[in-house]
Structure 1
Amino acid sequence: MKLMRLSMYVLGALWLVPFIWVFLTSFQPRETIGSGLFQFTYTLDNYTSAWSGAPFLQYYLNTTIIVLGILSVQLFTATLAAYVFAKMEFKGKEILFVLFLVQLMVPNEALIVPNFQIISDFSLIDTKLAVMMPYFMTALGVFLLRQQFKSIPAELEEAARIDGCGPLRIITKIYLPLSVPTYVAFSLVSVSTHWNNFLWPLIVTNSEKNRPITVGLSLFSGSYETGAQFAVLTAATIIVVAPLLLAFLIFQRQFMNSFMQTGIK
């Protein structure tokens, strides 16, 4: 047990070292980068230059709309599908559920060509909807919520039916309030995944008004003005990842507890 804990600390340190380097470098004056000596001088000029060098506010807005749009539809579709697989009985349910989970083994990159053809047929290229549509259904969300719904006693649903509640009211009044940690955990996974998504938005967006922050950061890092300005690039990187780190620090307890409970069930 001690060896496992020590290994966890070592792996955590290995992950933390490059992040600390990037964080400290983002505050270093440009002339000290690459000098080989660590300077105890700090400046916010790198963040000012990064923020003014690209429309990051627009990128933030685009990414927020995309991420929240995907999450909203995913929560709706995953909740209904999870309830069906957890509480309703019909022929072939288990086989259908296994086939549904096969989606987890298919990488998104393998579906880029057919997805692009569909988006193009609907004339949605260079729109936020084009970025969101392929992710409206989630096998992971259905799996997590199904496991949570199965753990909720059937007597609660029976009592609600006696009181005259229909399926939608039962879901909103019983299953949703009792599954908040699972919803929080899945929301963190979904938000972090689509906040960091790069390849698909790069393919289907062409303008600043629809481009997410990952694509914007890539274009910013490749621009002539910032080609060798590592301090500015590290500042821009911190600007991009800061919201995700903050969200994880706030909800890390719910995140870990939800996945532990799902594994036990």
Structure 2
Amino acid sequence: MSRYDRYLFSTGAGLLALIWVLPLLYAVWTAFHPSAYEANFTLSAPLTFENFAKAWNAAPFARYFFNTFVLVTVITGAQFVLCTLAAYGFARFRFPGRDILFGLVLLQLLVMPDVLIVENYRIIHALGLVDTLAAIALPYVASGFGVFLIRQTFMTVPAELDDAARIEGAGPLSILWRVYVPLAKPTYLAYGLVSISHHWNNFLWPLIVTNSTETRPVTVGLSVFATTDSGVEWSVINAATLMTSAPLLLAFLLFQRQFVQSFMRAGIK
């Protein structure tokens, strides 16, 4: 690659980064300054945490954060268990119809989740789970992408390790737990970040199946307090937005290197 090409790609990447970061910088500015300085970018503007206090008191965010934490923990934990078992079966066992079943798993990746909203809601309603945390979590306890990603990692594990473990008397589940899972830790980290990010930010499905404060996650809770009697207060809204997005931004910054490396090891470009 020539020096000109490197400059061209670097400039393009810089422009894309600038387009992404400008809204975030504006949100940070308005959240930490009084509403009178929403469009007045001056160094003499006073800093304040009042917007965060207003946002926290304007809605039951403690409950929203608790609901979201429970949801992402349960969903991600269930996906780890189910996707690991399915991926191990597809990677190391031969059985009739294996390729067809794995093809169906891949086919699921081509179906937009929004297409299934009506049918999913009918099932949740028939089970009597509307307006519960279980209603939000149930359609996501398994993931075709998780099965595919973990299977790709398991396929790179040498079969000789299986033979050595069997000689020591280990069974299939013991081999899975003691050999495959430790070697796939970077993949679990990457998939965990993807899953947590998706379900932390999920909005449409929780909006449809929840009706009360007791079951709303932060995304739905953020949308219902956006206006006040005096109209929209962007400084308060941006403060609430930073509160809800800060955990994800912090997690990605802490695990960015492992996140990228795990996808590279899985063979996904």
Q: What's the TM-score bracket when you normalise by the shorter of the two chains?
A: over 0.9
The answer for the alignment partner of 1:149 in structure 2 is: 154
For 2:268 and 2:216, how far apart are their aligned partners in 1?
40
The answer for the alignment partner of 2:221 in structure 1 is: 216
Report the count of equivalent residues.
263
Using the TM superposition, give the Cα deviation of residue 220 of structure 1 relative to its aligned residue in structure 2, in angstroms.
Answer: 1.2
Using the TM superposition, give the Cα deviation of residue 78 of structure 1 relative to its aligned residue in structure 2, in angstroms.
Answer: 0.3
For 1:188 and 1:18, how far apart are their aligned partners in 2?
23
Matches for 1:245-264 after TM superposition, within 5 Å: 245-263=249-267
Matches for 1:1-265 after TM superposition, within 5 Å: 1-2=5-6, 3-34=8-39, 36-38=40-42, 39-221=44-226, 223-225=227-229, 227-263=231-267
For 1:264 and 1:25, how far apart are their aligned partners in 2?
39
1:50 and 1:233 in contact (8 A); partners too? yes
Using the TM superposition, give the Cα deviation of residue 42 of structure 1 relative to its aligned residue in structure 2, in angstroms.
Answer: 1.0
Identity over aligned residues, as a percent?
48
Using the TM superposition, give the Cα deviation of residue 109 of structure 1 relative to its aligned residue in structure 2, in angstroms.
Answer: 0.7
User: Secondary structure at the residue paired with 2:160?
Assistant: helix
Residue identity opposite 1:121 in structure 2 = A
Over 3 Å counting, the alpha-carbon distance change for 1:187 and 1:264 in structure 2 is closer
Residue identity opposite 2:80 in structure 1 = L
Using the TM superposition, give the Cα deviation of residue 243 of structure 1 relative to its aligned residue in structure 2, in angstroms.
Answer: 0.4
Which string of whole-angstrom CA distances, capped at 9 and with x for unpartnered residues, describes residues 104-151 of structure 1? 111111001110011011100111000000001101111110000000
1:70 and 1:132 in contact (8 A); partners too? yes
Residue identity opposite 2:252 in structure 1 = F
For 2:268 and 2:193, how far apart are their aligned partners in 1?
20
Using the TM superposition, give the Cα deviation of residue 226 of structure 1 relative to its aligned residue in structure 2, in angstroms.
Answer: 6.9
Which string of whole-angstrom CA distances, capped at 9 and with x for unpartnered residues, describes residues 46-89 of structure 1? 00100111111110000000011100100000000000111111
Over 3 Å counting, the alpha-carbon distance change for 1:264 and 1:65 in structure 2 is closer
User: Secondary structure at the residue paired with 1:168?
Assistant: helix
For 1:227 and 1:157, how far apart are their aligned partners in 2?
64
For 2:213 and 2:134, how far apart are their aligned partners in 1?
15
Residue identity opposite 2:255 in structure 1 = F
Q: Which moved more, 1:171-180 or 1:160-169?
A: 160-169
For 2:264 and 2:133, how far apart are their aligned partners in 1?
34
- Ranges in structure 2 where 5+ consecutive residues have no aligned partner: none
Which string of whole-angstrom CA distances, capped at 9 and with x for unpartnered residues, describes residues 22-57 of structure 1? 1111111122224x4535321100001001111111
For 2:45 and 2:162, how far apart are their aligned partners in 1?
62
Q: Which moved more, 1:82-91 or 1:6-15?
A: 6-15
1:148 and 1:179 in contact (8 A); partners too? yes
For 2:268 and 2:61, how far apart are their aligned partners in 1?
42
Over 3 Å counting, the alpha-carbon distance change for 1:97 and 1:144 in structure 2 is same
Over 3 Å counting, the alpha-carbon distance change for 1:143 and 1:226 in structure 2 is farther
Residue identity opposite 2:10 in structure 1 = R
Q: CA RMSD in A?
A: 1.4
